[in-house]
Each structure stands twice: as C-alpha cells, then as structure tokens.
Chains A and B, each alone.
Chain A
Amino acid sequence: MAVLDKSSPPRPAAARVAGRPAVRIGPFSVVWRPRTVLVLGIGLAVLVLAMALNIGRGDFPISVGEVLSVLAGGGDAGQRFIVMDLRLPRSLTGLLVGAALAVAGAITQSIARNPLASPDMIGFTAGASAAAVAVIVLGGGAVEFLGAAGLPVAALVGGLLSAFAIYGLAWRRGVHGFRLVLVGIGVNVTLTAVVHWLLVVAGITEAARAYVWLNGSLNGRGWDHVVPVAIALAVLVPAALLLAHVLGGLQFGDDTARGLGIPVDRSRTALLVVAVGLASVATASAGPIAFVALVAPQISQRLVGSARPPIAVSLVVGAALTVVADLIARTAFGATELPVGIVTAVLGAPYLLFLIARYGREARG
C-alpha cells in the first residue's frame, strides 16, 4: 500500500507492479497490492479477537460475545464498569503503544537502512528511561520539578530531550543515517550507565519499582494513558503515511535520492520527528516495551514481501503483538503478572530467528 507521488521515480519492484492498477486521488496514487490488503485484513482480525479475549479474561471472566456487545452499548452495569473502566483502557493503551512503537521502528529502520536501528537501540528512548528511573529513585529534591509533573511527563521530556540531543549531535551539514545510528549508540550507552548507577544507589524497593517500569508494563493504565497516545497517533501516523513515499527513494542512498528530486534532509528530518514523537509518547505511557519497534516492522516486511518495512502493516502487527503479549502476561502465570515487555521479547525473538533462517535460504534461492 505504498503511497506514491505522481512525479516520483519507478520503485525497484516496478517491473512487477507495472500490470497492477493504481488508485489515484489528487496528486497521490496507491498501488493496489492484494497481498498487503490481505495481510492488513488478517492482522486487524487478529487484533480485534485478541482485544476481545484480553478484555474478557481476568478474575471476572466475560465471554468474547458479551465483550463485543458491551462495546456496542449493551451489557449490564457490572460488565460495563469492568470493560469500560478497567480493562478496555489497559488494552487500548497496549494497542496504541504497540502501534506507535512499530511505526516509529519502521521509519528509523528505513532511514538507517538497518534492521537493528529501532528507536530504542539508537537511544531515542534512553532519555525516557533515565528520567523515569531518576524520578522513581531520587524522588523529590533534584528532580522535584519532573516528579511533580508525574512519571509519564518526566519520561516524555527525557525521551524528547535525548532524541533532540542525538539529532543535534549527529547534524553536520545534514544528518547522515549512519552517523545518526553511531551517535545514538554513544548517547544510549551513556544514559544506560546513568540508569545502572541509579539502580545501584537506590534502595531495593525503589530499584524493584524502577525495574518493573524499565521492562514496560501496562499494569494499571487508565484512560489518562490512552488519550495522549491516541492524540499522538492521530496526528503523526497520517504524517508518516504521507511522507512514506520518500522512504522508497531514500533506500537507494542519499545521492541517488537527491538525483531523483527528493529533498533528502528535509524529508528525513520530518520523518525522524514523527518517529521520535511516536516512540517518546509510547514509552512515556507504558515504559520501554522491548522489541516491538524492532520486530514488528521486520515481520511485516516479510509478510508483505516488500523492499522495506511497510508502515500501515507494521502499525497493525505492532498493535496485535502488544495486545497478545499483554493477554499472555496477564493470564498465563496465574496470580503473577509479568510486565508486558518480557512477553513481547519472548514472543518476538524466536519469530525473528525463524525469519532469519528462512531468509537465509530464500536469499540463496
């Protein structure tokens, strides 16, 4: 579902796309790709089912059908309270956070042309972790102004600051993808050391609390966590989809992209702002949930068979992955509730390994 500008150059897969009809709206055109639509449809179905299951299961079980009827406006008062006030906001937070992380990952991986360059690997969320752990561990005093504003705000401020620091430090007559990654690694290492130091000087209770946050948790998330992520997604995802056609050209390298008429620096800056915004808001709401930003775009790319991570499919896959992970984290171990980030890693990692093994064979033909 690539959004192509009319004047943009033929994409690498042009030979295959040639026979396909294009849907044109104004200056934009969308190539009709049945496989992408199919993957999107299946992804959405899985997502809805996982949401319904996740909302239904718990100490007070509600069947999938009843959940759907409550969402449609039916159900008794008790069910309405449990679904609308307790479980739906948590699941929605998971859905939105997963979607935001996946889109951010798809953008950074495309810009750096490196499957490992997810926002958390290149330091975009390290500032959020450092700020949040500082608030948890140090409490008032030095970080009072951050603490007073609440953990999510502190994490948001920290994440944005670290991202802008990375961008500023990587700027030298334009931001080169490779330099951005390297600077990001440097900043990431530094901020991670700060987190480690805070964990060592902390009392054990604060350290344990900080550790739960660091693993990414959806526990106790309510509507006040849903709204900011929803607003960020509503603004930033359309922007990402509109800018996405540039990514196709950037895949060829800066010089070629410039030769094809793409304003390389401007587009890249805009895309990075979108990615940083999404990743920071998501991390502020639920902590740095591992691996979604890395693995969801890679899974989507292979499901669709495209040359780079597709944004719309990544969004759905990331959301589905996070909601399924939350379902498992909540219910699989009885009374013990794991942070969702642990489950996303345990689910995502073997799948990535499987893909690598298959990819190796495909590549040899």
Chain B
Amino acid sequence: MAEHGVLTPVAPPPVPGSLRRRRLLGLALLVAVLVVCCLASIAVGAKAIPLEGVWHALVNPTGTEDDIVVRSLRIPRTVVGLLAGAALGLAGALIQGHTRNPLADPGLLGINNGAALFVVTGIYAFGVTTLVGYVWFAFAGALVASVAVFVLGSVGRGGPTPVTLALAGAAVSALLAALTSSVILIDVQSLDAYRFWAVGSIAGRDTAVVGQVQWFLLAGLLIGLVGAPALNALALGDDVARSLGHSVLRTRVFGIVAITLLAGSATAACGPIAFVGLVVPHVVRAVTGPDYRWLLPASALAGATLLLAADVIGRVVVRPGELQVGIVLALVGGPFFVWLVRRRKMVAV
C-alpha cells in the first residue's frame, strides 16, 4: 500500500493546545475529586471516623472498632459505589453514542425493568430475600431484557436504528413493568421487599456482592473502552463509518454487549439507579469535546464521583437515618439537569 504512495495514512491534524490542556486539567481535577469522595465515603456515616482513623484502618489495621467498621462496611460499600458509578457513567456515554441520541440512557434497553421483574419473581416464587440473592436474578433479567429489545429493535429490514431501538425499549419496558406490578399487587410481601430494592442503594453491599459482578463489570469496561475509535467513526454516520472501513454491525453489537454488562451488573449490585448514565456524559462532553477516546474514560470517572458524592450526601442529610443514593441522585440530579438544559444549547452527539 505504502509503496504506491497513494494510501499512505495522513497524520491526524494536531489537537489544539488549549483543548489538550483543558482535557488533561479536567481529568486531573476529576481524579482528585474522586479520591476526596472515596475518602469521604469511608469516613462519613452514622459513626464518623476521623481521617487518621481511616488511614489507620487502611494501612495497618489492629482490629479496633473503627478498623472493623471501615474494613467490613465502608470499604465494600465504597468499592460498590465506585464500580457501579463508573459502569453507569460509561454505559451512558456508550448508549448515547450508539443511538446518537442525547436522551438515551441505559434504561432505554429495558435493563432496569428486566432486572426488576426477575428480582420480584425471585422474591415471590423462590423466596429470595438477601441482597446477594438478588444479584443473579437482576443480572439475568437485565440480560434478557436488553437482548429482547435489541432483537425486536432489529427485526425491521433496516436493522437496529436509533428510532426502532427506542420504541422497542419503551414497549418492552412497559410490558415488563406491567408484569412486575401484577406480581407485586398479588403479594404484599413481595411489594415490601421490592420497594426497598427499587430505590437503588449501595448500603449494606458487602464483598460477596462485589465478587459476583466484578468480572462482568471489568469485561464491560474493557469492551466499552476498546470500542472508542470505532464509535468516533460511527458518530459521522453509518455510511461514512462503513467507508472508513468499520463494520457498523459489529461495532454496534459489541457496544450493546458492553452496555448490557455494565448497566446490568451495576443494577444487579445496587438496584435501579437512574440519571448517572443520562447526565454524566452531558457534563463530561462540555469539557472533553466529542472525542470518545476522552469522553468514555472521563464519563466512567465522573460517574463514580457522582455516585459516591450522592451516597455521602445521603448519609448526612437525614441523620440518624439515610437517604438512598438513587433518591439523592434524582433529587439533586433532576434540578441540575433542568438547569443544564436551560443554561445552554445541549451539545449534539
């Protein structure tokens, strides 16, 4: 190829220095805030632990009361929040890219409603009542729902287009929600267990929960991040991407797989958490611009930061009780989203 001198790849135009600086600065700031949030998540709670105590428990624990609280409760909870937040942020950026729809969020694939139906079935038919027990039901439900949406959204001869995916997602979600409701209305005990799962929370999640979902999460992170260059091409439209040598179908299938793994395991671990996937990519895009090689990792970091920050807020505001992280996110995130929409034109994907 190169010897004919015709198709020699041309070096991409250099990224302007200011944009590069902004991206690096933004990323550094994000990492710093994330570290602060992690420390706060370990220190703040029903029993406040000073930073020296946190350090003591992390580095050389001696079995004091603080050490036990930190190592058996706070750290697993923080890890779950970190992983789930990163997964939801990344999944949101991926689905907005793949559907070229700034309103898309992972719930569009029916993941939350699929997980909810399977969890309710688990409670009702199999008597499952533990958080660890919910995980597999939720994950299976998320998987089944997203496969159903993807297949149904692809049956038209045009294959999976953003519009058919959105409509199929809405239809499948409504159907699953109706089935969930009928189980709950028949059995009050199911409702009692379900309503606490349905708010979305990372309280009480221990290492067993992390252990069950971690490999799916990591696989999803990897598949999602690797697809960034192809997603950049896809943003130019299917035809242009094809002419640049990308397989549109393969890119989309891998994208949906990554979204399902990420959002499915996050939902399995925490219950349905709205809003991280929707709002994070919008905020991040304002700093990084539309390049998915920056947007995807930054969305993962920002998602983790947002989730942990919201969880810490939830532990403080209604002492001695706690507000579940899903509720905090919606109560804080909803108005923030409205403000964002009002403030400027939404950046098109």
Contacts and interface: CB of A to CB of B under 8 A. Distances in A.
A197 B295 CA distance: 33
A45 interface: no
A242 interface: no
Nearest to A190: B334
A197 to B, nearest CB: 5
A187 B338 contact: yes
Given A204-B191, A353-B171, A360-B164, A290 B178 contact: yes
A208 B188 contact: yes
B334 A290 contact: no
Nearest to B175: A349
20 contacts: A116-B170, A170-B341, A182-B338, A185-B337, A186-B337, A191-B334, A196-B198, A199-B198, A211-B181, A342-B182, A345-B177, A346-B178, A349-B172, A349-B175, A350-B175, A353-B168, A356-B167, A357-B152, A359-B164, A360-B155
Contact of B199 (A183, A197, A215, A291): A197
Contact of B186 (A179, A290, A336): A336
B3 interface: no
Contacts of B12: none
A189 B185 contact: no
A55 to B, nearest CB: 24
A200 B199 contact: yes
Interface string A204-243: 1001100110010000000000000000000000000000
B190 to A, nearest CB: 10
A186 B167 contact: no
A215 B337 contact: no
Contacts of B172: 349, 353
B281 to A, nearest CB: 14
Contact of B195 (A178, A189, A207, A345): A207
Interface stretch (B44-52, B205-213, B245-253, B325-333): B325-333
A211 B191 contact: yes
Contacts of B166: 116
Nearest to A215: B181
A116 B163 CA distance: 10
A348 interface: yes
B327 A193 contact: yes
Contacts of A350: 171, 175
Contacts, number: 155
Contacts of A215: 181, 185
Contact of B167 (A116, A183, A291, A338): A116
A360 B158 contact: yes
Contacts of A309: none
Given A197-B199, A208-B188, A352-B171, 16 more contacts: A170-B341, A178-B346, A183-B338, A183-B341, A189-B334, A190-B331, A196-B327, A200-B324, A204-B188, A207-B191, A211-B191, A215-B181, A290-B178, A349-B172, A353-B172, A359-B156
B174 A290 contact: yes
Nearest to A216: B181
Interface in A306-365: 336, 338-339, 341-343, 345-346, 348-350, 352-353, 356-361, 363-364
Interface of A: 115-116, 121, 169-170, 172, 178-179, 181-183, 185-194, 196-197, 199-200, 204, 207-208, 211-212, 215, 290-291, 294, 336, 338-339, 341-343, 345-346, 348-350, 352-353, 356-361, 363-364
B275 interface: yes
Nearest to A181: B103
B15 to A, nearest CB: 30
A200 B196 CA distance: 6
B183 to A, nearest CB: 10
Across chains A and B, which 9 residue pairs bring their CB atoms closest together, nearest first? A360-B156, A190-B334, A193-B330, A345-B178, A349-B175, A186-B337, A186-B338, A349-B171, A352-B171
B274 interface: yes
Nearest to A348: B174
A146 B326 CA distance: 27
Interface in B287-305: none
Contacts of B167: 115-116, 352, 356
Contacts of B182: 338, 342
B70 to A, nearest CB: 27
Given A339-B181, A360-B155, A185 B174 contact: no
A113 to B, nearest CB: 12
Contacts of B342: 169-170, 172, 179, 183
Contacts of B192: 204, 207
Contacts of B330: 189-190, 192-193, 196
A193 B278 CA distance: 15
Interface string B148-171: 000011011110010110111011
A357 B154 CA distance: 8
B16 interface: no
Interface in B128-157: 152-153, 155-157
Contacts of B157: 360-361, 364
Given A204-B191, A211-B191, A185 B103 contact: yes
Contacts of A363: 156, 158
A227 B318 CA distance: 43
B308 interface: no
B111 interface: no
Contacts of A336: 186
Nearest to B170: A116
B335 interface: yes
B231 interface: no
Interface in B259-280: 274-275, 278
Contacts of A200: 195-196, 199, 324
B307 to A, nearest CB: 15
